[in-house]
Amino acid sequence: MKIYNLILSSLFLLSCGGGGGGGGTPTPAPPTPTPPQDTASITADPTVVFQGDSTVISWNSSNASSCTASGYWSGSKATSGSETVPMTGDSDQVLTITCGSASASVTVQVKTEDFEGSCVNPHNAEIYESYLGVYPMPSPQNVFGEEHIKAIGFKDYGVEWIYNNYKGKNATWIADCTEDEYIKLMYRTTLRRLKEHGVNSVGIYNFGYWQDDQAEFWQIDQNSKHIDDWVIEYIAAEAEKLDIKLIYTWQFQTQDVEQDFLFDFSTYNVRVDMALLKKIMDAHEEHILWEANRLEQIGVGGLSADWSAMWLNWFSGVNNEGHTQAQSDELKDYYMERMGIIIDKIKEKFTGKVYVGENVTWNDKRVFDKVDGVLLSFGNLLSDDQVATATVDLIQEKAMLVIEQTYDKWNCLDNQPCWYNSSSTIPPVMFNIFSQSHASFLSRGWIEDGFCTPGTIDNVAYDECVQNEVKTDFSAQAIFTEALFRAVDTQSYFETLGTTTSTGYWLSDTLIPDANQIPASSNTIEGFPNISQSIRGKPAEKLFKYWYTGQDELYNPTIKE
């Protein structure tokens, strides 16, 4: 009985939770979960841009259902993404993204002066008032259409040449610019400037030195090119951004890497016999095909199949003996045969346009039937006694005569023996609006403008630097330019492909030459841009702009006191 009662007591105590008395504390309810917080982040790449360039804005968020842009940009945005934003303002611009209750901002610095790293353009375009010249400045008469190729050719020197010339002179700005930064900056700013002037095609002229003048077969030393391959690639990439096509021309340099001449080059006209001509054509074919393959890979739009800066003399042999007409014709025939083969081989590698005309050109169907265009240059048009009273109308008249005579010659209408292999089809013509900035160009033609040479002015001989004696005259270039534009616009002989100015645009703003450039080998800086064929910073540039865009921009130079 005692055992039974003890068991009941134990069960009672367990059921009552021990002897603590009362009913126990209720279990608390779980806490309400905190809702996830909205987040937002934003970046810009790059964070420093030139005015008019773009930056890529990227943003992310979490927990928000939508985002809104504010500050420099605006509008509803997805909860994450990226967007290319043109930066047309100036100074610091803040771009904000708000996603739900969260916001984030990024600042982009917009510079009004182009730059590359710490390097900014160190050049200015000051001129002396006397540079303006003596002729009345012409007004542009018309505008070319949309189908017109509106081209300008870069000067045939590399930007690294300028850089190293200034470096040799201990220019202070060199400390802020590496060579690569300076190269990129100069080409990019020049391309942008040309785009503003309506240019849709840019010519590049390059050369290199041969490995050995004594070699049986001449080959280019690829490391000796004046403009490095990476620079050509950079120019092509920057031009593509601006929707500018590149046209590439190879200049036949007549020296090897040791500065030994391949053949006699006492003048720009090279006297040839068949053996020398074959060797020249073999060397050119190998290299231009190498270039065609490379240019195709980087998207270059045009290639000259012939070369510039070295012209062949069909009428004199290597020992200055005269050729008979039959010998001359044999040489010319071989040249055209080889050039036709070269064009065929170029087109197997290169899908861009193929041109000729940088060298001596005549109508031969092996070439004319294959190319997309031919370059036509004018040269000097006036006689010495016409220079003082030269006008746009007079120069236009002379230019029209050149066009008519070329048409007659190419179509066997000039009462001269017709070339046996002439084509019945003349390719479209690219007219070369080329002129230097001095009155003597109008009658005497081109003089060296990259460095000092001996020469004669007004019957006075100068042994060191005749360039210093040439009187700068921007107006002479302007009247010549406008006259040629009018002639091209009104001529009806040829199908007009477009206009250009070969090697007619230098790569810096400088117009006043360095005061001490004698001798050229040690003191040349940028040559003689004042008297050069470059139109940059001169009235002729504004004529190009009007004919290419229809925009009439006043020429307003900075005059150096």
Which pLDDT does position 393 carry in this prediction?
Answer: 98
Do both 123 and 185 map to the same domain? Answer: yes
Question: Which domain, by its residues, includes 391?
Answer: 115-549
**β-pair type (102-111, 75-77):** unpaired
Residue 91 domain flag: yes
5 lies in some domain: no
Given a cut of 50, the residues of the chain with pLDDT beneath it are 1-21
Cα–Cα separations (whole angstroms), residue 68 to 43, 59, 73, 102, 186: 15, 11, 10, 11, 39
427 and 523 co-located in one domain: yes
Among 79, 111, 143, the domain-final residue is 111
Please check whether residues 324 and 372 belong to one and the same domain: yes
Q: Are residues 129 and 238 in the same domain?
A: yes
Q: What is the pLDDT of residue 19?
A: 45
Asked if residue 292 belongs to a domain, the reply is yes
Prior bond of 519 cis (ω within 30°) = yes
370 & 322 share domain: yes
Q: Does one domain contain both 43 and 142? A: no
- Spatial contact of 238 and 187, defined as CB atoms under 8 Å apart: yes
Which CATH number characterizes residue 374's domain? Answer: 3.20.20.80
**∠ Cα 253 501 332 (to 5°):** 50
Same domain? For 369 and 507 the reply is yes
Q: Is residue 215 included in any domain, yes or no? A: yes
Q: Is residue 509 a part of any domain in this protein? A: yes
- Is residue 14 assigned to a domain? no
Domain C-terminal end among 58, 79, 111 = 111
DSSP secondary-structure letter at 384?
A: G
Residues 138 and 69 in one domain: no
- Does one domain contain both 387 and 300? yes
Whether 78 and 186 share a structural domain: no
Terminus-to-terminus CA distance in the chain, angstroms? Answer: 134
Q: What CATH number is given to the structural domain containing 78?
A: 2.60.40.10
E runs forming strands in 361-495:
373-376, 429-432, 455-457, 460-462
pLDDT at 399: 98
Beta-carbon neighbour count of residue 427 at 10 Å? 22
d(CA 16, CA 34): 39
The reply to whether 2 falls in a domain is no
392/541 same-domain check: yes
Residue 1: per-residue pLDDT: 43
Domain check: are 143 and 281 in the same one? yes
pLDDT, tens digit, 9 for 90 and up, residues 154-173: 998 889 989 998 998 889 99
Number of domains in the chain: 2
What torsion, rounded to 10 degrees, do the Cα atoms 83, 86, 91, 94 define?
Answer: -20
Distance CA 54, CA 69 (A): 17
Of 502, 505, 525, nearest to 515 by C-alpha is 525
Helix (H, G, I), strand (E, B) or coil at 44: strand
The domain boundary residue, chosen from 111, 141, 167? 111
Q: Which two tokens stand for residue 470?
A: 């040439």
User: Under a CB-based contact definition with an 8 Å cutoff, are residues 122 and 171 in contact?
Assistant: yes
254 within some domain: yes
